[in-house]
Structure 1
Amino acid sequence: MEFLNLAIELFRNADQFILHIAEAYGIWIYIVLFLIFFAETGIVICAFLPGDSLLFISGAAAATGVMNPIALILIITAGAIVGNTTNFYIGSWLGKKIYDGSIGWIDQSALQKTHSFYEKHGGKTIVLARFVPIVRSFAPLVAGAAQMNTVKFELYSGFGALFWVGSIVGAGYLFGNIPFIKNNLSLILIVGILAALGPFTIAMCIQLWKKYFGPKTS
């Protein structure tokens, strides 16, 4: 129950929540943020977490002096890298089961196209996926299932994580305390959540529509 209350508080008043944890518990704020970004990129069911907006808010909080911005960037980057790696190996482990056609809900044609796409554009995809909500949570899973080269994946994953975290935390650090932005940080978080959930919700609605109202095949 206490964890649930903390989660609700995070979504309602993320800026004040981060400031409170940083001021009251010191180093624990880094651990909390590490775990959040590990979960968003390492556990696909946590894809709804508001990564982009939370990065910006964390940068704005660091500008007040409660956190070291360099340590913040490095620790969140580490969480994002470890999350990606975990998700990649899960995909790699599931890969054989996925490719043998035994999992009925996997579209084999789409999977083969994904494999070919990753063979050709894998590195660029892993970097750019960091900036796309939902996609960044699924990209390493698909890359693992597509048997992308591990070293290549880790190099692009690390670069993408550092570029993603550094640029958005840096923007929050530089601009987050502008009065208009500072007074609307919670709104920024909510917009980030909606941006993340929007495409996923639309895709789910389309799938349900096709399932129940689409043309029936004999």
Structure 2
Amino acid sequence: MISSSATTRPGDGRATRWAGQRERRRREFVDAALRAIAETGPRVSTAQIADEAGIARPQLYKHFDDATDLQRAITDEAALLVTTALRPLWELRGSAMQLITVAVDAHIGWLAENGNLYRYLSMQSHSGRDAVADVKTVIARQLTRLFEHYLTVFEMDTRIAEAVAFGVVGLVDSSTAQWLESPHRVPRAELTALLTRWIWRLLDDTLRAGGVELDPHLPLPPPPPPPT
């Protein structure tokens, strides 16, 4: 018979401590998985993740329900890494051309340094979820907010902001994702220049249609701070 002192009572702190320890261990294993993906590629196996974490494979499933739960945790963390890495772009200052150039180069640079992680995101889909689409949506929503600000400054119809933002994100993502598979064909600087020019022409055409002619090299008024 188990004595009452050995059981976990509500409020005795054991359940909370166990939950905290389990969450900490999950994060450690996800970090190990990210390292394994960077080293071995997007088709990393559970065994390779366990090796990187320094444990036996069955031990992983003491902290994850199954392989799908592990993959979902990795995907969530990878998506967070992308959006966090690009977050400083929303606080840039300068001319339209400077903002576009820096943003595009930062996106290409992140892909160049984290190609395997991006490929892993592209391969994962849980319950109909597309992880890359989720990331693109987050970026496009931020860009929509930025475009709405400047369209308001220029006294233009802000309803077009979302369409323009998603169009820009789609152009950059599809072009850079393809470039990632054969980066030797077009140097990074050349790709940045191409995308910068294409994006500016899209934005310039949108502005001119609203009766606004903007010098791309003149400083813009600062955008609003990003939401916390």
Report the TM-score when normalising by structure 1: 0.39
Greater fraction helix:
1
Report the TM-score when normalising by structure 2: 0.37
Higher relative contact order (CA 8 A, sep 6+): 1
